[in-house]
Chain A
Amino acid sequence: MHGMNSTLLISQADPRPMYLQLMEQICQRIAVGDWPAGHELPSIRALAADVRVSVITVKRAYLELERQSVIVTRQGRGSFVAEGADVGLKLRDQELSDHLRAVASLSLLLGVSLEELGERLGQLRDELTREKT
């Protein structure tokens, strides 16, 4: 239909609420550029059937996304990815924050100090720069 065929996935193992998982995956699609500004999202019911999640969960995800201005819902016409390049950037920045947060908590768990963390990050960036050249 909109080329989406069950590429969105709700994991039972993921402890986060289903609507959040859904939102995150939709945001990823938008951030990566698969769903550009103006792209029409699948209807709530169609997405619910496709992902096998209750309609009310999809509704909630869409409502939240609209609240965060990531999507726009037009009465009787469906939901669309909101205009604005900053949407993409905002999302990428959000992605970075998420990754950093994960790194921070993991380092806490493993007892890795901030200094060591900084050193290792620096090494990785150097490696990546070398690979590119």
Chain B
Amino acid sequence: MSNPVVRRFILKDINASRWTMIGALLTAAIALGIAGTGDLGAYTALIFLISAGAAPAVFLCMFLVMAERKEKVHLFCLSLPISGRQYLLAKIAAAATAFLVPWALIAAVIGVLVAILPVPTGFVPFGWMLWTFALDLFALMIAITMVGNSDALNVVGIIFFNTSFGFYFFIFGRIPEIAHHNGDAHAHWSPIVFQVIGAQLLIAAALIAFTLWRLTKRRDFT
């Protein structure tokens, strides 16, 4: 936004998120480092990578959104020359930036590594499915914490987040077209992969759109 006050608010939140962003990049770096060290290394790397890609969503929502409202710091923010609506939109912009930058960087690095290193690439389609699923989790956490106003709902969101990847593997990882090709030397892009990725992107967009719509309608900022 061209408004300098709003820009400052966005930068403030991104700056407050720097450790989360750095943590995500470091976790991914460690994952890539140990990925080639046998089965345990590969498995650990997978868990670390998922954490690096998705966990920032929870951290960002917890301290940028939940803590600020619970501790009434938002009242301090709103005492400054910014409207309630601008304040909320700035927060979404900052959270999205703080989430997407490491997310995109990690994906880019993996993409480059996969292209130049002699590794089997069968896992890539399912990898992309997982990676874009992280976007859905981020969009869901944002929607729950910013639109919802309930501690209970926030807890439900975090629990869902923690258990979702397990279920994801169970549901999508065992689809024959995907499961059979995960260990291949070359990526096999069956249609179902594109359908799932497409649907996930749509869901993420819909959740964000819903959040933005609800926030622009909000008038009570106490």
A touching B, CB within 8 angstroms: no
Residues of B within 8 A of A (CB): none
